[in-house]
Amino acid sequence: MMTSIEESPLYSIANPKSLAFFGASNNLTAMGTNLLLSVQALGFEGPIYPVHPKSDTVLGLKAFQSIDDVPIIPDLAVIVLPTAIVNNTLEACGKRGLRNAIVVSGGFKEGGEEGRLRELELTDIIQRYGICLLGPNCLGVTNPHQRLNTTFIPYEGPPGFIGLASQSGSLITQLFEHLFMMGWGFSTAFSVGNEAVVDVVDCMEYLAVCPHTRVIGLYIEGIRRGARFIETARRIVPHKPIVALYVGGSEAGRRAGFSHTGAMAGSDRLYEGLFRQSGIIRARSVTELFDFCGVLGSQPLPRGARVLIQTHSGGPGAAAADACGRAGLEVPLLSPEALEALAPFVPNTGSVQNPVDLTFTKNPLDFYSKIPQVLAGDRNTDTLLVYFMTPSQVVARGMRWMGVPEDQIAKEGAKMMDDQCRSFMEAVQPSGKPLVGFTFRGHHEPSIQGLTRRGVPVFPGPERAARSVAAMVQYAEFRKKWTAPQACKDA
């Protein structure tokens, strides 16, 4: 097993110091142009050498007629050319001495007999030159920690902790904003495409030792190396959680996968067993894939399945309790000590059963400090699940009432909400227990952003929150089982 990413054959694909770029032009309708714009938008710091048969410059960069004209041997070639000229270009790169390439172009194994033969030719070339290849028919790589993003959409938000190996490039590039809204981001994401060389297993091995990656996500339409996949996962899971989404289980999903990347899918039950054997948490949807990654990468592991729900509204509390029950979690009563400590803060309309429903409290500040402190400290609790709901218009109403000048209301309100979020975090963190929120407000709300920015996942609705907590519990159990000391020999 590798001990650092520098040992990985994928190192220069994810961390190139220089790029050769084929297929970008000054024409925005070309796919390659868009990808190079994404590279530039994230501020890639190394030199970029566009190769173009006619233009002297491409997107403001000096262009070269052929790879032979490029003054150095770039670390990585990104190829976004018409299918027919990809193999020749790859061969030219090999001759020039390049040893890493991403082929974005499609029209290979996924595209009939002609494509299959073309992919055979491609694998022959890369074997001859010893090229490490990502693709073909992929979107390349996103490594925001290195300011690298070869995908279609510019990267949004700060670098993150989710490592992804995906048989869909769209589910990298088109998820940037989705992750950003939840307070998450990619550490490094690989779009593996047809997996002519680099496959999901290689990416798992890289991500296992990537220091920015706290959790590994997999989007799978079909696995080629089953035994190696299981073996690799079993080595990783005791140290880093793996979450996988498999979409080939239904007939329609299987057909879609084949026409997409030529993947041969197996039955749902086969993959269910494969994931279970491997200690992999299974997600049932794209949303769950990233939800599970988000909580596993941001929260401490719960010691058990007991969830305490904090709310100021009965309906959302009951819905959360119901969602926890359906997700297989426990919603136990509070300990006598917690009940006693809580008593001063609960109005007579409230409830100290679980959910703890504070209703309309006289001092809303308690909701953000003393109450969560007591609840997180409760010995009957493994995870705190909290309903958050502070519409900025209601805050503005209060500010206006207190005489805050109209032009300062937005700023003062945002500051107040930010203080509350910080206070909440400070109240819970000493417990070392996971904190997960839910809301029905939008993520644009300052009261929600103040939490997501501090690493607290706030889900739209309790169901996604509950299922994510259940995923953490499942991983904690895997980990306990797999890292348990062997039966003591002296006994």
Q: Does 359 contact a second copy by CB under 8 A?
A: yes
Which residue type, as a one-letter code, is found at position 430?
P
Q: Does 294 contact a second copy by CB under 8 A?
A: no
User: Which residues 235-254 are close enough to bind a second copy by CB under 8 A?
Assistant: 245, 247-253
User: Which residues 118-157 are close enough to bind a second copy by CB under 8 A?
Assistant: 152-154
Q: Which stretch binds a second copy (CB under 8 A): 325-333, 368-376, 415-423, 426-434?
A: 325-333
**Residue (100 or 311) nearer to a second copy, CB:** 311
**Residue (158 or 430) nearer to a second copy, CB:** 158
User: For 186-311, where are the alpha helices, taking DSSP H only?
Assistant: 200-209, 226-236, 251-261, 268-278, 286-298
C-alpha 6/C-alpha 4 separation (Å) is: 5
Q: By CB under 8 A, name the one of 318, 339, 404, 414 that touches a second copy.
A: 318
Q: Does 443 contact a second copy by CB under 8 A?
A: yes
Q: Does 419 contact a second copy by CB under 8 A?
A: no
**Residue (37 or 85) nearer to a second copy, CB:** 37
Q: In the beta sheet, which residues pair with residue 97?
A: none
Give the CA count within 13 Å in the CB-facing half-sphere of 370: 14
Nearest-5° Cα angle at 387, 384 to 390: 135
Residues 210, 163 contacting (CB under 8 angstroms): yes
Residue that is written with structure tokens 């899918």 in the block: 265
Nearest in space to 79 (alpha carbons), one of 69, 91, 62, 97: 91
Q: Does 169 contact a second copy by CB under 8 A?
A: yes
Q: Does 166 contact a second copy by CB under 8 A?
A: yes
Q: By CB under 8 A, name the one of 75, 199, 221, 366 that touches a second copy.
A: 221
Q: By CB under 8 A, name the one of 128, 276, 326, 453 that touches a second copy.
A: 326
C-alpha 241/C-alpha 204 separation (Å) is: 11
Q: How far is CA 185 from CA 264, 281, 294, 452, in A?
A: 30, 19, 9, 12
Q: By CB under 8 A, name the one of 88, 349, 408, 483 that touches a second copy.
A: 349
Residue that is written with structure tokens 């297929």 in the block: 23
**Residue (209 or 466) nearer to a second copy, CB:** 466
Least Cβ distance, residue 430 to a second copy (angstroms): 26
From residue 78 to residue 117, the character string flagging contacts with a second copy as x (rule: CB under 8 A) and all else as - is ----------------------------xx---x------
- Residues that contact a second copy, how many (by CB under 8 A): 84
Q: Does 284 contact a second copy by CB under 8 A?
A: yes
Least Cβ distance, residue 363 to a second copy (angstroms): 9
H helix and E strand count, the chain: 19, 19
From residue 379 to residue 418, the character string flagging contacts with a second copy as x (rule: CB under 8 A) and all else as - is ----------x-x-xx--xx--x-----------------
Q: Does 170 contact a second copy by CB under 8 A?
A: yes
DSSP notation for 308-327: EEEESSHHHHHHHHHHHHHT
Q: By CB under 8 A, name the one of 73, 440, 453, 481 that touches a second copy.
A: 440
Q: By CB under 8 A, name the one of 52, 99, 118, 260 that touches a second copy.
A: 260
**Residue (28 or 484) nearer to a second copy, CB:** 28
Q: Is the peptide bond before 457 cis (omega within 30 degrees of 0)?
A: no
Q: Is 383 exposed, middle or buried (0-12, 13-18, 19+ CB in 10 A)?
A: buried
Q: Is the peptide bond before 136 cis (omega within 30 degrees of 0)?
A: yes
Q: By CB under 8 A, name the one of 18, 55, 351, 380 that touches a second copy.
A: 351
User: Which residues 460-479 are close enough to bind a second copy by CB under 8 A?
Assistant: 460-463
C-alpha 77/C-alpha 379 separation (Å) is: 56
Q: By CB under 8 A, name the one of 160, 183, 217, 316 that touches a second copy.
A: 316
Tokens of 207: 């991500």
Q: Does 323 contact a second copy by CB under 8 A?
A: yes
Residues 110, 89 contacting (CB under 8 angstroms): no
Residues 142, 162 contacting (CB under 8 angstroms): no
User: Which residues 12-51 are close enough to bind a second copy by CB under 8 A?
Assistant: 28-29, 31, 34, 37
